[in-house]
Amino acid sequence: MVRRRFATVLLAIAALVGVQLVGAVPAHAATRTLYYDASQAQEFVAVVNQAATLWNGKVSNVRLVPVTAGRTPNIRVYADNGWPRTYTTSLGNGRWYMGREAVNDGYYQLRIATHEFGHILGLPDRRTGLCSDLMSGSSAPVSCTNANPSAAEAAQVQRNFASGVTAEVQEVLFVG
């Protein structure tokens, strides 16, 4: 009985002075939900939703979810007649445009949408010219239909959201 009281008092004192008696387990980054509004994406709403689903299948610590009533979206998606482009305000926040000019030139719509979401997720253009690199953008051939982020691109998004790194405000063009 005395030992139990002594142990309880000792633990209480240790807690008061901030002594950690049990080793900590590394914390895993909680899944961050990013809400997107594709209501202004016009004829591209379905492809925007496909791109979000594609990213959700490749990364685990961030989820792209259509915005629900009463919630402010992190991401707004628009359609216009220019080139696809993204304006980020911080990691996971901003707006992007599904530009019809690239679509009319023959670029694959799902690749464009997935690429632009990639910018919101903190990925820059890489312009490698390789179809296997989602972030190579329009430097890959028009015939490229790969809309999947590479393992390295998905891993970078995982790192971006695990560490809480914020992306600098940038304007990114699909063709640049």
Active site residues: 116
- CB of 48 closer than 8 Å to CB of 38: yes
Of 79, 78, 53, 57, the residue nearest 66 (C-alpha): 53
Per DSSP, which regions of the chain are E strands?
A: 32-40, 62-66, 75-80, 85-90, 93-99, 170-173
Q: Which amino acid is at 96?
A: W
